[in-house]
Chain A
């Protein structure tokens, strides 16, 4: 009888230790570990049973339409929100203020006290941290040198986001979290911002997590991505793996005011002003279109991208 209890205790202890060991190994390997995370606001489910792991040193994108739960997930990671259920581990810890020293965060909008100049804003935030990125490096990384004497209020959208990025990088963080860093920027400012992110990736050693609803941004920057929709994880993986997994061949498209080839009528729908369809045999369709005397038409042939993937997996478009 005693022997039975000893065995039971040993088994229980063994299981407990294995469990501990497993989670310890997990937290060592992953920068972020989300396990069945749920969060609701006044009856609206923002995050619904979301499980994710993000590796150390990778650039990870959370992609989804507005209201998909990207920002809420971010806010849980940085400790601004508490999950209703599920577990979040960031750099091996429960999200809390004690991680602030190791993280850099850029919120959707970064608000600063009034009347601060750029240099003063940098000094203000530098005062909060023990560990700092050398100021020269920070300024050149975010191309802020010409703006140092400007009032933060007078900055353009792109300049403001670069300042926000600099404030997130000021403590040379292990983990950089960017919430829709390019929302509302013009194309030129967005491309400039991408270049900054690439420079940060080159520094190495930093895990970057960003949210976006721009497919091209994610394709350009992310090593891996998770597509989320209505708080749920749709798919997760490296962009090219996911595309290769779900698509073979090419995507062709025509403006939807043109006549469709006979074989396609009723088969394809028009979206964003174009008929588009997937095919393995581009030369066949070129021939068909030639016979229809449509050489001059605005025909496009491309590899299917994340837009098509999103449509395929969720049945609706990323931006409605």
Chain B
């Protein structure tokens, strides 16, 4: 019993004295709760997302469906964009109030429920076939899963290793050789990059063989996107690990970065109905760019020119973060 107590005491001391990770452990849940409240307004996420089209006065007599609290609705700019979002599983239904038409995605689980809800009070609405082939949910999900895996493998792979190297003294020994910071960091980046690409390729091949998922776009463009995305995430990992010596703090910081990106990137659920300020923040997160670019390529077979704005943003972020990481990097922690 005493042995357990002394271990407990020593570990608690260690944790308590590691101020950095202590603060993160307190701060992270707080930020998460505040962030989630901001995103979902404290009422929980609406179950259904509906886009509607129509003249200004058409909304004077809306279908009863739109007044339900479980349905979030928004006016769409034009029909093509609305249907595109529908086929991408970003919204669950599109309504044309003037024509009394509606569209649902036949691959969506929510489609039939909404259909019933609409028919119960407003049976005059007529279902329209979708012009483009709707995409199976798995095809829509796969780029997101690959992007998420890419983020975790890149961020944690370099971040943890670097902090461990610094803490154990590996970096101290390397600092005494002619090896430069740039050479060292580039070696780390490349070592992680090929692992990330290999793992993602294996996952894709596995899913292709087992579930028959495929992709529409250029393999080269997909590779380029994944390389750029992975490099950006690795750079972020290097930045987090540039100076700290505590693995716990590293873990806290890395989680702090991955959580908002997971929530806001549109990876699992759409931000279509989220407040605009949140959507514009989301646009600046590297994971959002990666997910969007990969979806465009894999689902829609987008060409280089279409994806380029996303890649460009990633490229700038990657260069900026990497520059910061190299400048801030120290071989040793503070003090002795």
Chain A residues proximal to chain B, CB less than 8 Å? 41-42, 78-80, 97, 100-101, 103, 105, 107, 109-113, 125, 128-130, 167
Contact = CB atoms under 8 A, between A and B. Distances in A.
Given A41-B335, A41-B336, A80-B332, A100 B172 contact: no
A101 B178 contact: yes
Interface of A is mostly: loop
A107 B178 contact: no
A41 B175 CA distance: 21
Given A100-B178, A111-B168, A167-B173, 17 more contacts: A41-B335, A42-B335, A79-B176, A80-B175, A97-B175, A105-B176, A107-B169, A107-B176, A109-B169, A110-B173, A111-B169, A111-B172, A111-B173, A112-B170, A128-B177, A128-B178, A129-B177
- Most A C-beta atoms less than 10 A away, residue of B168, B177, B332, B336: B177
B179 interface: yes
Given A41-B335, A80-B332, A113-B165, A129 B172 contact: no
B169 A78 contact: no
Contacts of A78: 176
Given A41-B335, A41-B336, A80-B332, A100 B176 contact: yes
A20 B180 CA distance: 31
B165 A100 contact: no
Contacts of A79: 176
Interface of B: 165, 168-170, 172-173, 175-180, 332, 335-336
A107 B174 CA distance: 11
A101 B178 CA distance: 6
B162 to A, nearest CB: 11
A101 B179 CA distance: 10
17 contacts: A41-B335, A79-B176, A80-B172, A80-B176, A100-B177, A103-B176, A107-B169, A107-B172, A107-B176, A109-B169, A110-B173, A111-B172, A112-B170, A112-B173, A128-B177, A128-B178, A129-B178
A97 B181 CA distance: 11
A76 to B, nearest CB: 12
3 nearest CB pairs, A to B: A111-B169, A128-B177, A100-B178
B183 to A, nearest CB: 9
